[in-house]
Amino acid sequence: MHELSLAMEVIELAQREAEKNGVSTIGEIRIEVGYLSGVEADAFKFALELLVKDTILEHAVIDLIRTPGEGRCSVCNMKFEMMNILDQCPGCRNFPTEITGGKEFRVLDLVAE
């Protein structure tokens, strides 16, 4: 379960940023998780909520922002939203030849108290 190691990395990142900016408490953290990122969002949030005890994020609101994938079909050149890596082009039913979005996994911001 790589979500556990990702949660640990997010906590370490928050700690480093807080120390760098002289912050003692973080009130909110916003994390973008794309549908095509390979990260199971619920498992990640569960792992993060388990690991934040006695850390800079212990009392923080954890806000996960889910972003849909986007694909482009080389046959009909249509761009379309994807919720799954196997989604087909709604125009011609071909698989996308290029995935242009939804693979993101990143901390968007930390809000200090």
For 33-73, what is each residue's pLDDT tens digit?
999 999 999 999 999 999 999 999 999 999 999 999 999 99
Here the CATH number for the domain that contains residue 30 is 3.30.2320.80
Q: Give percent of the chain above pLDDT 70.
A: 99
Considering the entire predicted model, what is its pTM? 0.86
Closest C-alpha among 11, 4, 8 to residue 60? 11
Asked if the model's pLDDT at residue 10 lies above 70, the reply is: yes
Asked if the model's pLDDT at residue 108 lies above 90, the reply is: yes
Give me the domain span that covers residue 72: 2-112
Number of structural domains the chain divides into: 1
If you average pLDDT over residues 18-37, what whole number do you get? 95
Q: Which residue has the tokens 């242009």?
A: 100
Predicted local confidence at residue 1, as pLDDT: 56
